[in-house]
Amino acid sequence: MSTVPEVVVTGLGATTPLGGDVPSTWRAALAGESGARPFENDWAERYEIGVSFGATIKVTPDQVLTRPEIKRMDPSAQYALIATREAWADAGAPEVDGERLGAVVSSGIGGIWTTLDAWDTLREKGGRRVLPMTVPMLMPNSPVAYVSLELGARAGAHALVSACASGAEAIGYGVEMIRSGRADVVVAGGTEATIHPMPIAAFAASRTLSLRNDDPTGASRPYDVDRDGFVIGEGAGVVVLESAAHAAARGARVYARIGGVGLSADGYHITSPEPSGDGQVRAMRAALADSGVAATDVVHVNAHATSTVVGDLIEARSIRGVLGDDADHVALSATKSMTGHLLGGAGALETIFTVLAVHERQAPPTINVENPDPELVLDLVRGTPRALPEGQIAAVNNSFGFGGHNVALVVTSA
């Protein structure tokens, strides 16, 4: 009798605005630090952009990678490779046949630095100066291609794109690769490197960014009454997923299980979430059903909560709608208050936070919530971390993206 494999997390890697790896990022998150800072450039004045800060990466790739690696990879791929190397080492570099090893690493936007640099070169110097590596650097599958090359992952290399849900969708697809029998081990995550004046001007034009230029660390404030938009971030998160049997056979340390994957689409508006939260509710319900976890077992939710006026509350109501009275014992965390919004990297980094919350039994805090929105109908973890109960527990990580993409992942204790 064939059974569907259970999927466990055995390795974690990240490079983020809070730190160059997972331990430093997690420590900073538990301490309630902000990764937002003023830009060290003159973009705001030179290009008349209304936003002069963001959550830039803490440890730049030139401190970690070789010169040739920097030159032949877009920053989005550099971040992914850095996170992958950490995750792979953290998992104990599992011995696995390359044909049984998969890679799923997404970027919401792709190699935009490369695209725009090449366009500048073309206009300033002409077509003969555009470098031949431009296409392999700008293509949105470039990060996962480099991850596949790095590890010899040959079961499949995929880059699912769903804007700010991309990182979570990648992990969900990685889970499915193992469940369907295509792979025993999958490296999965998301990455983004979009802190460039053009996308910042474009996000600012859509009125989605916080304009709190005089207070960068206080700008990302999900569920606070004075929230005014998200803080753009950058970085990558990568997890090593493994069938429980494969992990057990090699005696691997298991952080947690990914018990359920839920996906839906709003089919409503290109940027605005559907106001009733129907799509979000369906994604969470599907993930819970997939995991077999009852609402009463959910003790923690890492919210998508980007600090926008409309989006935060729709999600809070959706969570209440799914969990009902059981939502009363859920510790809700909005970690973008500290990391900023990593776009395609967000869902992956927040999955790592959710896995660590379950593994270490503590929910990270939400910072900058001075006056909680009176319409918030959930128990927000504010200021300092919150202990989670012993025994079998479950947590949900939500990720939603422009275009109406909804992804919910259920993480359960090992």
Residue 139 vs 342, nearer CB to other proteins: 139
Phi, psi values for residue 185, rounded to 5°: -135, 135
Total number of residues shown for the chain: 414
Decide whether 125 or 269 has the Cβ nearer to other proteins: 125
Q: How far is the CB of 379 from other proteins (least distance, A)?
A: 52
CB-wise, 71 or 269, nearer to other proteins?
71
Say which of 158, 246, 300, 341 is annotated catalytic: 341
Of the candidates 164, 196, 300, 405, the residue annotated as catalytic is 164
Nearer to other proteins, 48 or 124 (CB): 124
DSSP letters, 25-65, are: HHHHHHTT----EE-SSSHHHHTT-S--EEB--SS-GGGTS
Give the nearest distance from C-beta 341 to other proteins in angstroms: 34
Question: What letter represents residue 213's amino acid?
Answer: N
User: Least distance in Å: CB of 299 to other proteins?
Assistant: 48
- Closest to other proteins by CB, 24 or 121: 121
Question: What are the residues binding other proteins (CB under 8 A)?
Answer: 66-68, 71, 125, 128-133, 136
Shortest distance in whole angstroms from residue 129 CB to other proteins: 6
What's the min distance (Å) between Cβ of 133 and other proteins? 6
**107-140 burial: b if 16+ Cβ within 10 Å, else e:** bbbbbbbbbebbeebeeeeeeeeeeeebebbbbb
Does 304 participate in catalysis according to the annotation? yes
Cβ-Cβ contacts under 8 Å for 112 (sequence gap 6 or more) = 74, 76, 138, 193, 194, 196, 198, 199
Dump the DSSP string for 58-100: SS-GGGTS-HHHHHHS-HHHHHHHHHHHHHHHHTT-----GGG
Rounded Cα distance between 286 and 290, Å, is: 6
Instruction: Write down the catalytic residue from 196, 246, 304, 405.
Output: 304
Which residues pair with residue 185 across a beta bridge?
A: 101, 242
Structure tokens at 140: 């949105």
Active site residues per annotation: 164, 304, 341
